[in-house]
Structure 1
Amino acid sequence: MAIDNATIARRYGNALFEVAQEQNSLAETAAELNELKAALNQEPGFVNFMTSPQIDEKAKKDTFSALTANASTLVSNLLNMLFDYRRISNLEAIIDEFNRLYDQERKVVRAVVRTAVELDDQQKDTLAKKFAEVEGANQVILDAKVDPSIIGGVIMQSASHIYDGSIKTKLEKIKRLLLKR
C-alpha cells in the first residue's frame, strides 16, 4: 500500500523536528532547511533529475554528494535517507511540515493579507500586531497581496482564521439583504 505525500511529509517532518529539538538545534536546522528550499526553488529540475529512471545512479549520487557536502549531520542524514528510500520528491513538503511545527513551537503565525492598495510598512506592522493579539501569537508574518477586486478594506487569512473586512463583502451582504425582500 502506497503512502500519500501528506503522510510522508508529516512523519518525516515530525521526526526531524523532534530530533532537532532534542539536539537544541531548531533554529539552525530551520535556517539550513530554508536555504535548501530556496536552492530547490532556483533549480526546479533537481527533483526530476534525482527521480528520473533515465539518469545514471552514479550521476545522481555525485550530484547528491555535492548537495550534502556542507550540510549539518542532521540535514545530511535526512537527505541521505530520502535519497535511499527514493523519497527526495517529498523534500519540499517535509521542509514545509518542519517549518509549520517550528512556527507552532515559537507561536508564530503566517497570514496572507489582501488589500485593494499597497500597504506601507507601518500599516503592515499595525495589522500584524493586532492579528497577533487575536491569534494569541508572539509574532505574525504577513504576506501582503494587492487585490483591487475587494474595492477597499482588508482580508486576513491564517491557517485557522479568516477575517473579511472588505467593502466587496459588505456590498454583497447588502445586496443579499435587499434581494430577500
Structure 2
Amino acid sequence: MQSTLTLSEIAEPYAQALMSVAQSNNLTDAFGEDTKALQALLAESEDLKFLVTSPIIDSEKKKAVIRQILGEQIHPYMLNFLLLLVDRGRIMLLPQVCEQYQSLLRQLKQTVLAEVTSAVELTPEQQEAIKQKVMSTVQASQVELATRVDPDLLGGVIIKVGSQVFDASLRGQLRRIGIRLGAPA
C-alpha cells in the first residue's frame, strides 16, 4: 500500500492542472465549492468512496455513476476532470486532489486554514472572534475555519494554524498547572 505522502505527491499535479483550468476560465471559487462538495460527499457515502477507490469496478461503470450522481451538481469542466481521472486510473486520488486544490485556493486567496477543536459547538459569533484573533496573530488576510467538537476538552478551544498550536482548552490549562506543580498531567 502506498503512503499518504506518495498519494499526495501523485495528486499534486492533477490539483495544479485543475487550478490552471479554473484560473484561465475564472472558476477558482466555483471549483473550490465543487471540491468541498466532493469531499463532503465522499465522507458521507461509503458506497461512493468504494466505487471511487475500487480497482475491481470497471471504469465505464465508474464514469456512468459519476455522471448520474454529479452530472448537474458540478461545473461541466469539473465533471470532465473527474472523467479524465477515471480514464487515467487516478480517480482513487480524488480525496487528495480535492484537498490539494483547497490548499492551492487558500494560497491564491492568501487565506490560512485554522483547525479549531472545541468542547462544544461554536456559535457564529465565537467563530468570527476566532477568525479575527487568528488573522491578527498570523497576519493573514482571510481565515478559513475547520471546526471539530471534542467533549474531552472540558472547555475552551485548541487552534492549529499550520505548525502552530494555540491551546486554550481547560484540559491544556490543567496539564500546564500539573507540570508547574510537578505532578503528572
TM-score using structure 2 length: 0.77
- Find runs of 4+ consecutive structure 1 residues off by over 6 angstroms: none
In 2, the alpha carbon distance for the partners of 1:153 and 1:50 equals 38
Residue ranges of structure 1 left out of the alignment (5+ in a row): none
Q: Specify the alignment match of 1:172 in structure 2.
A: 175
Change (3 A) 1:122 1:100: same
Change (3 A) 1:87 1:172: same
Q: Specify the alignment match of 1:19 in structure 2.
A: 21
In 1, the alpha carbon distance for the partners of 2:87 and 2:147 equals 39
**Which residue, 109, 127, 130 being the options, matches 1:106?**
109
Q: Let me know the Cα RMSD of the aligned residues.
A: 2.9
**Which residue, 59, 65, 88 being the options, matches 1:63?**
65
CA contact (8 A) 1:151 1:167 kept: yes
> Displacement of 1:64 after TM fit?
4.0
Range that drifts further, 93-102 or 68-77: 68-77
> Displacement of 1:90 after TM fit?
0.7
Structure number, greater radius of gyration: 1
Change (3 A) 1:52 1:140: closer
Residue ranges of structure 2 left out of the alignment (5+ in a row): none
- Percent pairwise identity: 30
Letter in 2 for 1:37: Q
Change (3 A) 1:118 1:49: closer
TM-score using structure 1 length: 0.78
Range that drifts further, 101-110 or 91-100: 101-110
Letter in 1 for 2:25: Q
User: Secondary structure, in 3 states, of the residue corresponding to 2:174?
Assistant: helix
Letter in 1 for 2:163: S
CA contact (8 A) 2:119 2:156 kept: yes
